[in-house]
């Protein structure tokens, strides 16, 4: 595949829900920060040409010395994040040059598989925007003031994960539209939906968790033990 591919790893979060004194992406499991497990997945993928690591201002030097120098990575660019996740992704997009396909991934999802990353890139190469997702297992209801108003059709529901993969020009257009119209979203695909872009879901796996709570952290330790 001749396309040039980059990934933006968003690592600027403070991890307040974890209740610890360190952002969750820097918490160590087996003496290795969660962020490093995530970086490794993309660093080892045969299609990834460039990694952009977006971090908060306070952790730029830490990442340069404790991650890039200690682990001898190359092709990784560390840049400063923004106030919100959306701002950080936009900073990452603006730092890229001559890129055809860009993936966006949460720093605290270290269990995405190499095959899933490759499938996303290959599908995006066929002129599709792609996201990972898993089918919802539970019954989902809409409520108001804790009173059920509607039960949704579970067969149509997906829990969307990252990475999300796009043609660079398509994602940049969506971000510029969001800035122009002051649109906020919790993921990148939503910004494309607003422009009525077609987005393809690739079925992922339930272990591709986002480590957000202490319970997630304990489950992550179990998953890493299984991988070893």
Q: Do 71 and 27 meet the contact criterion of CB atoms below 8 Å apart?
A: no
Look up tokens 């999802």; give the residue: 109
| Pairing status of strand 129-135 against strand 158-167 | antiparallel
Q: What is the pLDDT of residue 75?
A: 79
Q: Do 120 and 42 meet the contact criterion of CB atoms below 8 Å apart?
A: no
Find the mean pLDDT for residues 150-159.
Answer: 96
d(CA 169, CA 93): 10
d(CA 33, CA 24): 9
The mean pLDDT value of the chain amounts to: 92
Structural domains of the chain sorted by starting position, each given as residue range(s) with its CATH number in brackets: 5-227 (3.90.550.10)
Find the mean pLDDT for residues 7-16.
Answer: 82
Q: Do 12 and 85 meet the contact criterion of CB atoms below 8 Å apart?
A: yes
Judge whether residue 70 has pLDDT over 90.
Answer: no
Partners of 50 in beta bridges = 6
pLDDT digits (tens, 9 = 90+) for 202-216: 999 999 999 998 899
pLDDT digits (tens, 9 = 90+) for 74-119: 879 999 999 999 999 999 999 999 999 999 999 999 999 999 999 9
Q: Angle, to 10 degrees, between the axis of helix 168-180 and the axis of helix 85-95?
A: 130
d(CA 12, CA 21): 15
Work out the pLDDT band at 18, boundaries 50, 70, 90.
low
Worst-scoring range by mean pLDDT, 69-73, 128-132, 138-142, 215-219? 69-73
């Amino acid at each position: 595949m001749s396309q040039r591919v980059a990934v933006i790893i968003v690592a600027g979060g403070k991890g307040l829900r974890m209740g610890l004194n360190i952002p969750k992406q820097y918490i160590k499991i087996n003496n290795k920060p969660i962020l490093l497990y995530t970086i490794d997945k993309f660093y080892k993928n045969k299609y990834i040409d460039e990694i952009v690591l977006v971090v908060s201002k306070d952790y730029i030097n830490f990442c340069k010395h404790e991650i890039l120098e200690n682990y001898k990575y190359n092709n990784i660019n560390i840049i400063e994040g923004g106030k919100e996740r959306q701002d950080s992704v936009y900073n990452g997009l603006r730092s890229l040059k001559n890129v055809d396909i860009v993936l966006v991934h949460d720093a605290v999802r270290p269990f995405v598989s190499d095959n899933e990353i490759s499938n996303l890139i290959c599908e995006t190469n066929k002129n599709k925007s792609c996201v990972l997702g898993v089918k919802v297992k539970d019954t989902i209801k809409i409520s108001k003031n804790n009173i059920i108003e509607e039960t949704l059709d579970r067969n149509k529901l997906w829990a969307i994960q990252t990475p999300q993969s796009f043609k660079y020009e398509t994602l940049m257009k969506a971000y510029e539209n969001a800035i122009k119209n002051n649109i906020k979203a919790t993921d990148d695909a939503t910004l494309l939906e607003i422009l009525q872009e077609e987005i393809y879901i690739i079925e992922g796996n339930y272990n591709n968790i986002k480590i957000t709570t202490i319970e997630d952290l304990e489950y992550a330790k179990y998953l890493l033990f299984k991988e070893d």
